[in-house]
Structure 1
């Protein structure tokens, strides 16, 4: 058995009858050191289409499931590319704010470890639990012939018809949804910095609208990722955060500049 097959075998089977109660370390993290085996061309293609046609990326999920018996990706190339993009953003922001080399390195680590990985682990775990509790359809009822025999004996219920929701797949969904957010809030905001830092209502509207667009893109990306799983139901519930997001956006237009507040947290200005 190959090393990759052994790693895949260490994970719970996605077609098991009952989902695992605890997430396990996905194969994608255990292969981060195997640069020579990463498909950066495919990862770049996925990042491109996540911005222009995200549904097309999730069509490949079915092929991956058929060939490797798992919904989650096993190639960490996309993690490396996003981390490299965050490093580029950190350098650009450091130049704008005249940060030292050490401060630029600290900012890059902050963006990768906190903004991308730590937030991804937290959000993926929430999605994983939410999907298992609220989005899986109930198992079919046991046939009358299996409910109990003439002597009153009980038989095990039939196997549910749905697959298990993999924690690794929910992290993939976060990863896919994060890249459009990165383009909006890490790059576009940088170019709009002279505008959103001005103290007038039009600039406040521009900055808050930018954050509304970025966060709404992320929420919609999470919805697309989980709605791509054919055995999940009621995935439209994942769009519910758009309602408080929109309400908060309207309230913020009364005088709270979200962009300036976030920049103050990052750079103290």
Structure 2
């Protein structure tokens, strides 16, 4: 049985985290050390069988003794996909090379990475401060959510959202951009599905950790989305038009 953590090993945790982080960053510039085959398999499972994808999280804990991935392949692939999709939008809607470059950089480094870091930090803080199970005796082992695992959860949740709000939305743009009630309904339903599935995958990610409880709090945004969407539809609000206006005016 693999140990998790104990009182004597707490002082070594920062060193272990730095070691994992240095390995992670070092692999970014060494593509041969990245497991792209597993990454594409994981992306597929997150779309068709997300519970299977997170079942492998426990296998990773058993073999590496930490929950977070030490392979940056998933993040690299997501950045490339987001950048490519942003380029497609720029070809269709942008009128300037510099504006296109700015849009692509914003999509990758702000929409995916920076906002992802913020969301991961909130989830990491909430899980560690409010959701960890109380120890029943003095010899119980304390476990904590790793920040890099929280970022993994965001990245995992982002890929299906990317397929819906970058790829599918792009293909449906001629329909979604019409000034009609049907276009507003379709756009709202698309965003509702994408954002709800994002939060559902986040819930699965945190519920996969056996030392957390009440992880259903990560599903609360889904209820809020379902309650808000009827009002946005009745008001004629079109999320697709709103989003593209932000980027392209």
- TM-score norm. by structure 1 comes to 0.82
Residue-pair matches, total: 238
Bigger mean CA offset, 244-253 vs 29-38: 29-38
Show structure 1 runs of 4+ deviating over 4 A: 16-21
**d(CA) in 2 for partners of 1:14, 1:118:** 30
Q: CA offsets per residue over residues 93-151 of structure 1, 9 Å max, x none?
A: 1111144433332222111100111011100000001101221111215xxxxxxxxxx
Are the equivalent residues in 1 in contact too, given 2:131–2:213 (CA < 8 A)? Answer: yes
SS of the residue aligned with 1:184?
Answer: helix
The answer as to 2:127 corresponding to 1:131 is: yes
Report the counterpart of residue 9 of structure 1 in structure 2.
none
Are the equivalent residues in 2 in contact too, given 1:124–1:170 (CA < 8 A)? Answer: yes
The answer as to 2:172 corresponding to 1:192 is: yes
Q: CA deviation at 1:200?
A: 1.3
The answer as to 2:214 corresponding to 1:234 is: yes
Q: CA deviation at 1:54?
A: 1.2
**d(CA) in 1 for partners of 2:207, 2:40:** 23
2:46 maps to which of 39, 44, 50: 50
Are the equivalent residues in 2 in contact too, given 1:14–1:165 (CA < 8 A)? Answer: no
**Root mean square deviation of aligned Cα:** 2.1
**d(CA) in 2 for partners of 1:170, 1:30:** 20
Bigger mean CA offset, 63-72 vs 30-39: 30-39
Report the counterpart of residue 244 of structure 2 in structure 1.
263
Whose Rg is larger? 1
Q: CA deviation at 1:15?
A: 2.5
Report the counterpart of residue 153 of structure 1 in structure 2.
none
**d(CA) in 1 for partners of 2:203, 2:219:** 7
- 5+ residue gaps, structure 1: 1-12, 142-157
SS of the residue aligned with 2:165?
Answer: helix
Q: CA offsets per residue over residues 169-221 of structure 1, 9 Å max, x none?
A: 00000000000000000111101111111111111000111111110011001
SS of the residue aligned with 1:103?
Answer: helix
SS of the residue aligned with 1:198?
Answer: coil
